[in-house]
A and B are shown apart, each in its own frame.
Chain A
Amino acid sequence: MWGLNLPVVLVLAAIGGLLVWRRAHTLAWLLYSLVGLWAFFKFGFVVPIPQSVATIYLAITVLALVAYASSGRERLAETVQPIKRLILEPRHRLALAGLLVALPGLAAYNAYADLTMPLEAPGFGREIHPPPPNELTVHDETIDMATAENPYLHYKHDDPELYGKHVENGRRVYYENCFWCHGDGMGGDGMFAHGLNPVPSNFNDVGTLPALQSSFVHWRIAKGGPGMPAGGTPWDSAMPAWEKFLTTEEMWDVNLFIYDFNGYEPRALGQH
């Protein structure tokens, strides 16, 4: 459900319910919040969330918990009272000794885990959407990248029949030229995809087509890998410069088709 790892979520919810039922102390709630959220970020998603994002979330959690515990004299006193009792009262000596062993042990385990982390190639530092030029010249026609839109997009409302013809033409162009790499479902998983680095764009991804103006997509289709600016390096895309093989109309049509196929609208001018 929603990409969550249900057993983990249920266990965490059950512990939370137990704390409510037992009317747990503030300190117990703070510890539960910290450890529970750590476990949720680590194991709570079917697709694990990246460590960098989990670190941001945990830092926010720690700040919020410290702010809560110290947001009033009475609350602070109440929060630290069990800690004081643990340290000062002789009957808790065994628990204190356990804690004194456990805390350095936890730090040692953390150091061990950091040092034995499996080696991996460094992350992909390439810019996914390198900045386009201000103007684009394709087949002797220059367009302003900031304001240009797909010239056939307005047919969607003005003349749906004509729009359909352009989309059909785009479909033909796509399945004659593009699907080899971008795949028949546009998932970036065509039959040649495994041999390419960087991999072909996944047009199903919510972060790709909706984030781009149609002029950007036109630029990428027309100029391909050879027209990639420095930000797109070090591995130049294998995408051909399609202006050498297709007409301008065919390129706008295929542009229209990939948006239409995935049910996305191009990013609007001035949207951030």
Chain B
Amino acid sequence: MNRNRILFGIGVLAFVSVIVTVRLGGFLVDNEYRQPDRQVAAQEEQGEAELTPRQQGIADEQAADEAEARARPYEEAEYRAVPFVGSRVTVWVLAQLHLLFAAFVLAVPLFAFIIEFVGYVKKEERYNKLAYEFTKLLSVSFSMTATFGAFLTFGLIILYPKFTNYLMHIFSPTFLPYVLLFFLEALFLYSYYYGWGKFGPKMHLFLGFMLNIVGTAIMFIANAWLTFMMSPGTRGADENGDGVPDFVSAVSESGALLSLRDAFFNYTWMPINIHRIIANVAFGGSIAAAYAAFRYLQAKTDEEKAHFDWMGYVGNFVAIIAFLPLPFAGYYLAAEIYAFSQTLGIQMMGGTFSWLFVIQAALIGNLFLGANYYLWLGMGRMEGGVHFQKFIKWLLIAIALCFAVWATPRYAISSVSEIAAMGGSSHPQLSYLGQMSAKNTAVNILILSTYMSFLLYRRTGRQSIHPHRDLLTRAQAIVFSSAAALVIFYGVYGYYVDAATRIRFAIPQVYSVLAALVVITVIDLPLYRNAAQSGETKWGKMPAVSQYALIFIALSFTWLMGLMGYVRSGLRQEWHVYGVILDTSPDAYTPTLGFATQVVSVTVLIFFGLLGVVFWLSSLGGKKDWEPKPVADGGGRLEGGQAA
């Protein structure tokens, strides 16, 4: 007997067993005990339904339930639960997915508009084509944003009805303008996308400009809702004369609205606006670069490869340029959180959430490393690129050292024996690296190193023909070294002064770096204008690993957004609205850091799965149309074929 027959026999046997079990159950129920008395017999004779004790019991229960349901008064539910996952995680994941797509939809028009504008000014068609390629991603992403926005709204209404109602009490006047702006956003977005090449360049640029204005306004309104939950008040006059503006609450102690203006323009509203605009551009650039990488890896022709290589380069360039000022915007946001509430500030930087900042440092270090790595690989595009390869080693050492300093925690996770050896939770030597002086120095040197990588990349395969090239190059070197020396000087000196002085050192550090970037760029532009090329730039000749680096950067950005979004939102802990409306649901506890990072990871995976769908749909436009496949069957009929 062969194996297939045995398997078939087992299958038949299993099927028969199921049938027999079901039939047997039915038989037992049908033939359950019945009362053999005369009353039952009489009822049967009169044609009344006979009820067994079990059926009677079920009927009684149903009647009791119905009576109870009719007598029950209407009560508004405070919370509803989601089995297994829980309400909090459900809303968390939905909000994060909505936010990721929304960030992308807001960011792409920003740099698509700028690229189109550059193309218009420089009269180069390739910029126009590139801007259109970016815009292709918008249509599907916009639908995704709206879908997850609806999901999130229904999720909040269903799972947190009472709290959602409260938010409506506070912000109802802002909802209609929001919807109106959303309508305008759709109008401008689709006219911008479908109107490509159909309008004159100025009109089309105007559409892009309006798209950005409306999109930003939408974000500003939504930011008011979420920042109110964190900081329900604003700065007032300094009436007690202590030099610090007094706190003005937007709501009463019981939560009744006192001032919509104060609720809207609360402490953290503007810092979040600024932080999100910059972060959105960085995130959008990285996702667009990941799309280009995806298409590059799929590309069959050299022309396609060259196009998507360039697109990936531009997307990554946008991401990194936007990323450089992001730490300063984050610092502003953190300062405002601290100003609103010392408790929230310490909770964030020194309490439960501080370890997430170590993970943040690791991710940002990865981003810097990934961005530099991509630039170094990019030197391979140019003939004569070997010349600058020798500097990579030193740049890498600087970046790795700064990365390590930034990721050094002030208080390490330690075992009991390690704590005993150290005499506390901080290491006698390494704890110095965990302090702000060291971290400010590290991030500024990271920014300088990344800029240096970009300069080397820009110079690869080019020779300046400027008459004062040696002098100007030396001037650049002096500016660069001076900025680095100043940053390190203030970093070290910070350990020898009091805290109030030390905090002010961050300002000259930042300004010296920004000034160095500006001065070096101003010198570099004339220095390499009309430079002699030792060979041409070979777009499309990048190794595959460079494209995976772009995808890695996009993944890191997404993970970072999810993680820091959790920190911002989770800081409120057991409060819906901090200090005003308490969360009394079973999910009100703060999850462990491990669980939180798992939720962020799963959300990122779902986002990238959905992004795969967006990429695939966006790339359909470039494929050949479906055509019936001719089949010679002798009768001259045509049979349907498959898409080419």
Contact = CB atoms under 8 A, between A and B. Distances in A.
B342 A64 contact: no
B164 interface: no
B427 A146 contact: no
Contact of A72 (B380, B404, B411, B416): B380
B399 A48 contact: no
B543 interface: yes
B16 interface: no
19 contacts: A2-B429, A47-B427, A53-B408, A56-B358, A60-B404, A70-B545, A71-B377, A71-B389, A73-B380, A74-B389, A123-B419, A131-B346, A132-B342, A145-B342, A145-B343, A207-B431, A207-B434, A265-B498, A269-B244
Contacts of A120: 415-417
A175 interface: no
A211 interface: yes
Given A53-B430, A206-B432, 5 more contacts: A51-B418, A61-B400, A68-B393, A129-B346, A271-B436
A207 B410 contact: yes
Contacts of A172: none
Contacts of B224: none
A146 B366 CA distance: 35
A184 B90 CA distance: 54
A74 B386 contact: yes
Given A53-B412, A67-B396, A72-B389, A207 B417 contact: no
Interface of B: 242, 244, 331, 334-335, 338-339, 341-347, 349-352, 358, 362, 365-366, 369, 372-373, 376-377, 379-380, 385-386, 389, 392-393, 396, 399-400, 403-404, 407-419, 421-432, 434-436, 498-500, 502-503, 543, 545, 579
A52 interface: yes
A268 interface: yes
Of A124, A205, A269, A272, most B-chain CB atoms within 10 Å: A272
A206 B438 CA distance: 14
B210 to A, nearest CB: 39
Contact of B419 (A124, A146, A265, A267): A124
A255 interface: no
A266 B380 contact: no
B615 to A, nearest CB: 25
A52 B408 CA distance: 10
A272 B416 contact: no
A225 to B, nearest CB: 18
A57 B361 CA distance: 12
Nearest to B403: A60
Contact of B407 (A60, A71, A134): A60
A206 B413 contact: no
Interface string A110-136: 000000000011111001111111100
Contacts of A75: 389
B429 A3 contact: yes
**A-B interface, 7 closest residue pairs, ranked by CB to CB distance from nearest:** A265-B498, A268-B500, A146-B342, A64-B400, A50-B412, A52-B413, A50-B414
A80 interface: no
Nearest to A145: B342
A45 interface: yes
Of B386, B392, B427, B543, most A-chain CB atoms within 10 Å: B427
Contacts of B502: 271
A226 interface: no
Contacts of A207: 410-411, 424-426, 431, 434
A131 B422 CA distance: 25
Contact of B421 (A47, A53, A131, A269): A47
Nearest to B244: A147
A127 B351 contact: yes
Contacts of A202: 423-424
Contact of B416 (A57, A124, A269): A124
A72 B351 contact: no
A147 to B, nearest CB: 5
Given A48-B421, A207-B410, A270-B338, A121 B416 contact: yes
Nearest to B392: A71
A266 B342 CA distance: 15
A47 B422 CA distance: 6
A124 B335 CA distance: 29
A67 B369 contact: yes
A75 B339 CA distance: 51
A233 B381 CA distance: 58
B500 A265 contact: yes
A24 B82 CA distance: 62
A210 interface: yes
A63 interface: yes
Contact of A271 (B377, B400, B413, B499): B499
A213 interface: yes
B392 to A, nearest CB: 6
A59 B408 CA distance: 13
B473 to A, nearest CB: 23
Contacts of B427: 45, 47, 49-50, 53
B409 A124 contact: no
Contacts of B545: 70
B583 to A, nearest CB: 15
Contact of A231 (B349, B351, B358, B404): B351
Given A67-B396, A145-B342, A72 B379 contact: yes
A269 B341 CA distance: 11
Contact of B426 (A122, A124, A134, A206): A206
Contact of A49 (B335, B350, B392, B430): B430
A145 B343 CA distance: 9
A268 B496 CA distance: 15
A267 B499 contact: yes
A50 B386 contact: no
A124 B422 CA distance: 14
B499 A73 contact: no
A272 B386 contact: no
Contacts of A72: 376-377, 379-380, 385-386, 389, 392
Nearest to A268: B500
A145 B340 CA distance: 11
Nearest to B243: A147
B503 A131 contact: no
Contacts of B436: 271-272
B389 to A, nearest CB: 6
A60 B499 contact: no
A122 B342 CA distance: 30
Nearest to B373: A67
Contacts of A67: 369, 372-373, 376, 396
A134 B343 contact: yes
Of B392, B399, B400, B411, most A-chain CB atoms within 10 Å: B400
Contacts of B380: 72-73
A133 B426 CA distance: 25
Contacts of B366: 63
Of A48, A215, A269, most B-chain CB atoms within 10 Å: A269
Contact of A210 (B338, B369, B499): B499
B423 to A, nearest CB: 7
Contacts of B399: 64
Interface string A210-247: 11010110000000000000010000000000000000
Contacts of B331: 272
Contacts of A134: 341-343, 579
Contact of B396 (A50, A51, A64, A266): A64
B343 A45 contact: no
Contacts of A68: 392-393, 396
Contacts of A205: 424, 426
Contacts of A59: 362
B242 A147 contact: yes
Nearest to B375: A71
Interface string A24-68: 000000000000000000000101111111001101110110011
A210 B503 CA distance: 12
Nearest to A61: B400
